[in-house]
Amino acid sequence: MLTNVHLVTVDWGHCDPAGVVYFPNYFNYFDSSTNALFLRALGCNKYEMLKRYGIVGIPLVDVGARFIVPSTFGDVVTIESSVAEIRRSSFRMLHRLLRGDTLAVEGTETRVWVGRDPADPDRLKGMPIPADVVAKLKG
Amino acid sequence: MLTNVHLVTVDWGHCDPAGVVYFPNYFNYFDSSTNALFLRALGCNKYEMLKRYGIVGIPLVDVGARFIVPSTFGDVVTIESSVAEIRRSSFRMLHRLLRGDTLAVEGTETRVWVGRDPADPDRLKGMPIPADVVAKLKG
Amino acid sequence: MLTNVHLVTVDWGHCDPAGVVYFPNYFNYFDSSTNALFLRALGCNKYEMLKRYGIVGIPLVDVGARFIVPSTFGDVVTIESSVAEIRRSSFRMLHRLLRGDTLAVEGTETRVWVGRDPADPDRLKGMPIPADVVAKLKG
Amino acid sequence: MLTNVHLVTVDWGHCDPAGVVYFPNYFNYFDSSTNALFLRALGCNKYEMLKRYGIVGIPLVDVGARFIVPSTFGDVVTIESSVAEIRRSSFRMLHRLLRGDTLAVEGTETRVWVGRDPADPDRLKGMPIPADVVAKLKG
């Protein structure tokens, strides 16, 4: 399965009054890291990906994280992201955020390949992940 | 155990190009909801709570969420938060976000009662949760 | 012109390592406050407003703020928002954020009533503000 | 005066339901860009800068922006930031955000060099910008 490495500079505005990353921001980092993996796999950015495949997004149905070591503003952290499992219309991502050589945060995302429901365009609906996307995510 | 109900207005800026809440923002909602429960339990806001107990915060070591139904800007959602378990220096919160009567998101947080390490003030360190706080969280 | 008062609880996650509101979050507060004024003026939330008038949003073309006194987590601040000027397809909002009786932040927004360009739906385009909206904003 | 160029990838989570950058996020970009300029000028990151000079931060007293052209997720934008003026304890930054060759957003920040008030450590107080910092910002 495909793996991608994404660097993030922890900035002042990501940190809380304790001086460390405010935890929801780790999910922003993981989301960016998933997008970076797709950019590498498909050779197009998310805007073009949505147009090309006629989808609305790849929203999450399940997410989890374990916070082991805090990071602070000025740190440059490394996120190793990999596709862990691909099903018909969903897939699972693993993220490992490293501060230097230390595993600092570990996260997992389950995402769905989602379009508009033809019967009701205000509703979102899971769709089969196209075969070429599956092939590229398998690396 | 104590339970608290917290209302959140989903705003334009919380939503993504799919028109629904950008998922990391649910963790902001849950964090506010935990703070609201402490405000009710202790009768003081978080700033005063940190001063009173000499702590730096109640950071997370573990978090998880399941996204069942999306919400959009303009929605007023209800978050039912409860203390699920209290240990020596950590505790677990459960959050249920309801859109009308529908369970839309379910989340769990494990948090630690944290102060500065006397040996190294740059380091954070778990501390025993004071007995009066435990009593008030038990409701 | 219409004026509305909006209360905001400053939360932990809005503050930076200096312990005070991270300044871009004041613009989130002002944006929520503008949305609250429209909710009161039109009797419908932003989602319904976009549907009713066939617009994409009311984006900003110009914004400014003066930060006089900081606020911290736990503070409940008051935002007084008023419509200062209405032109053909744009309008100007004034926001005064008060901490107790003290003026803490002052902001101004120029916004445009925007729809999709019929000639190119990927482009946004200013549209005349409907007469009933103008009348309601005049209060 | 010193000028620095900073690249930002506009991500999905920075954009609103209109599909373009939610405007407060431009101030996050400008803040990161100011931090990047200081990193280059002083050769240390913001965490080390605060320690070295005994300050709490460089908060804003005044900010303004003009939004000319929207950007969307997937765009890589360029921010040219420069020091426009240095006074005793404050300085002014100019930011020009370019989408390709097009000026998309223009912003200005007035910031103060701030420490804790020795008379009341809960209060922040402007302090003279050290001579070596002034020299480095002058480039």
- Indicate the pLDDT class of residue B86, thresholds 50, 70 and 90: very high
Give C65 or C119, the one with higher predicted confidence. C65
Q: Which residues of D touch B73 (CB under 8 A)?
A: 17
Q: Which residues of B touch D22 (CB under 8 A)?
A: 12-13
- The three-state DSSP-derived secondary structure of chain B is CCEEEEEEECCHHHECCCCCECCHHHHHHHHHHHHHHHHHHHCCCHHHHHHHHCCCECCEEEEEEEECCCCCCCCEEEEEEEEEEECCCEEEEEEEEEECCEEEEEEEEEEECEEEECCEEEEEEECCCCHHHHHHHHC
**CATH match for C3-138 among 3.40.50.150, 3.10.129.10, 1.25.10.10, 3.40.50.360:** 3.10.129.10
Out of C46, C57, C75, closest to residue B74 by CB: C46
Find, in chain D, the residue whose alpha carbon is nearest to that of A13.
Answer: D28
A14-31 confidence digits (pLDDT tens): 999 999 999 999 999 999
Out of C17, C23, C124, closest to residue D60 by CB: C23
Indicate the range of A54-68, C85-99, C115-129 predicted with least confidence.
Answer: C115-129
A40-93 confidence digits (pLDDT tens): 999 999 999 999 999 999 999 999 999 999 999 999 999 999 999 999 999 999
- Indicate the pLDDT class of residue C64, thresholds 50, 70 and 90: very high
Q: Is D73 near chain B, with CB under 8 Å?
A: yes
Q: With 90 as the cut, is the pLDDT of residue A124 above it?
A: no
Residues B21-31 have a mean pLDDT of 98
Contact B13 D19 (CB under 8 A): no
D35-69 confidence digits (pLDDT tens): 999 999 999 999 999 999 999 999 999 999 999 99
Average confidence score pLDDT of chain B: 96
Q: How far is D87 from chain B (nearest CA, A)?
A: 32
What does the pLDDT read at residue D122? 79
Q: With 90 as the cut, is the pLDDT of residue D101 above it?
A: yes
Run of H or E residues at D67: strand D60-67
In degrees rounded to 5, what are phi and psi of residue D71? -125, 160
Q: Which residues of A touch D72 (CB under 8 A)?
A: 47
Tokens of B131: 């007995």
Give A121 or D19, the one with higher predicted confidence. D19
The fraction of chain B above a pLDDT of 70, given in percent, is: 100
Tokens of A25: 């921001």
Q: Residue D61 has what DSSP assignment?
A: E
Instruction: To the nearest 10°, report the CA torsion of D21, D23, D24, D30.
Output: 80
Query: Using an 8 Å Cβ cutoff, are A59 and A114 in contact?
Result: yes
Q: Is A48 helix (H, G, I), strand (E, B) or coil?
A: helix
Give A94 or D123, the one with higher predicted confidence. A94
What does the pLDDT read at residue B121? 83
Indicate the range of A114-128, C82-96, D14-28 predicted with least confidence.
Answer: A114-128
- Indicate the pLDDT class of residue A126, thresholds 50, 70 and 90: very high
Q: Is A27 near chain C, with CB under 8 Å?
A: no
- pTM passes above 0.95: yes
Q: With 90 as the cut, is the pLDDT of residue C121 above it?
A: no
Q: Is C9 near chain B, with CB under 8 Å?
A: yes
**ipTM for the predicted complex:** 0.96
Q: Which residues of A touch D43 (CB under 8 A)?
A: none
Q: Which residues of C touch D61 (CB under 8 A)?
A: 66-68
Q: Is A59 helix (H, G, I), strand (E, B) or coil?
A: coil
Contact D61 C70 (CB under 8 A): no
What does the pLDDT read at residue D121? 83
Run of H or E residues at A124: strand A120-126
Domain boundaries, chain B: 3-138
Q: How far is B88 from chain D (nearest CA, A)?
A: 31
Cα–Cα distances (Å) from C131 to A136, C8, C55, D22, in that order, read 53, 31, 15, 27
Out of D18, D62, D67, closest to residue C56 by CB: D18
